[in-house]
Amino acid sequence: MNRIVVLISGRGSNLGALLDAGLPVVAVFSNRPNVAGLELAQSHGVPTRVIDHRAFDGREAFDGVLADAIDAYTPDLVVLAGFLRVLTGAFVQRFAGRLLNIHPSLLPAFPGLNTHRRALEAGVKIHGCTVHFVTEALDHGPIVAQAAVPVLSGDTESLLAARVLAEEHRILPAAVRWFLEGRLRIEQDAVHLTPPPPLETSPLLNPMPA
Ligand code: GAR
C-alpha cells in the first residue's frame, strides 16, 4: 500500500483533487492554522497537523520538525500542494526523488509568486501549470507534467487563475499516480513516463490561425 503525505498552506483544492482521485493520502500538514484544506482533509478522515512556521527560529528549525513529522508516516511520496514555503536544502535532500510540487505556470517561465499577474503583464498567449520534482533550485526541478491554457483577451488574474487551476486538478493526480506506479524515470533533467501515453497529434495554438 502506497503512502502519500501532502503539505498545504491554504485552500487545499489540489489536495481535494488527490482525495477525489482516491489516492492514498495518509496525512496532511499545514504551516498555517485554520485553513480550508485542513477541514477538507478531516472530512475525508485524513489526519492533519499544523506546524506553524512562525513558531520557529529560522527555516532549518521549522524544516527539521516538519521532516521528522513527515517521516513518522513513512511516506513513499511527499506532495507540495499549494505549500507556500521555501524549503531548505537539507529538507529537499532528505526527500529527494520523492518530493513533487504543483506550480501555477509553465516552468521555466514565471517561477515564484503572482504567476498569473506576471503572465498577463508579459502578454503571453499560452499559460498553464507544471508538476515537477523538487530540487534545491526554487521551481526548477525535473518536469513530470504540464498543461497549457489560452490567455484570452479580457482575462483578469482571477479568470486566468481559475482556468489554470482546473488543469492543476487534472495533472497533479495523474503525476502522482504515475509516480506510485513506478512509471517515472529521471534522466539528466528530463522525466520519462513508461510506457509513454498515446501521442497527442494536435498542437495547441492560440490564437488559432484564421
Ligand atoms: C495552486 O494554484 C498552486 O499551484 C499554487 O498555490 C495554489 C494552491 O491552491 N502553488 C504555488 O504557487 C507554489 N509555488 P490550493 O490550495 O487550492 O491547492
* 12-40 tens-digit pLDDT: 999 999 999 999 999 999 999 999 999 99
Is pLDDT above 90 for 199? no
Question: Which of 55, 9, 13, 45 has the alpha carbon at shortest distance from 29?
Answer: 9
- Domain CATH code at residue 80: 3.40.50.170
**How far is the centre of ligand 1, averaged over its atoms, from the C-alpha of 210 (Å)?**
35
Q: How far does CA 39 lie from the centroid of its chain?
A: 19
In what side-by-side order are the strands of the sheet with 4-8? 48-50, 25-30, 4-8, 77-80, 99-103, 126-133, 143-150, 190-193, 184-187
Question: Does the beta carbon of 111 lie inside 6 Å of ligand 1?
Answer: no
| 47-106: pLDDT as tens digits | 999 999 999 999 999 999 999 999 999 999 999 999 999 999 999 999 999 999 999 999
Confidence band for 203, pLDDT divided at 50, 70 and 90: low
Nearest-CA residue for ligand 1 atom 2 is 104
Active-site residue flag, 103? yes
Q: Give CA–CA dist 68/74, Å, rounded.
A: 10
Question: Which of 121, 84, 86 has the alpha carbon at shortest distance from 104?
Answer: 84
How far are the Cα atoms of 5, 63, 81, 126, 147 from residue 168, in angstroms, in the given order?
18, 26, 10, 15, 8
State the catalytic residue, choosing from 44, 53, 103, 169: 103
- DSSP, residue by residue, 10-25: S--HHHHHHHHTT--E
What domain count does the chain have? 1
Q: Which domain holds residue 166?
A: 4-206
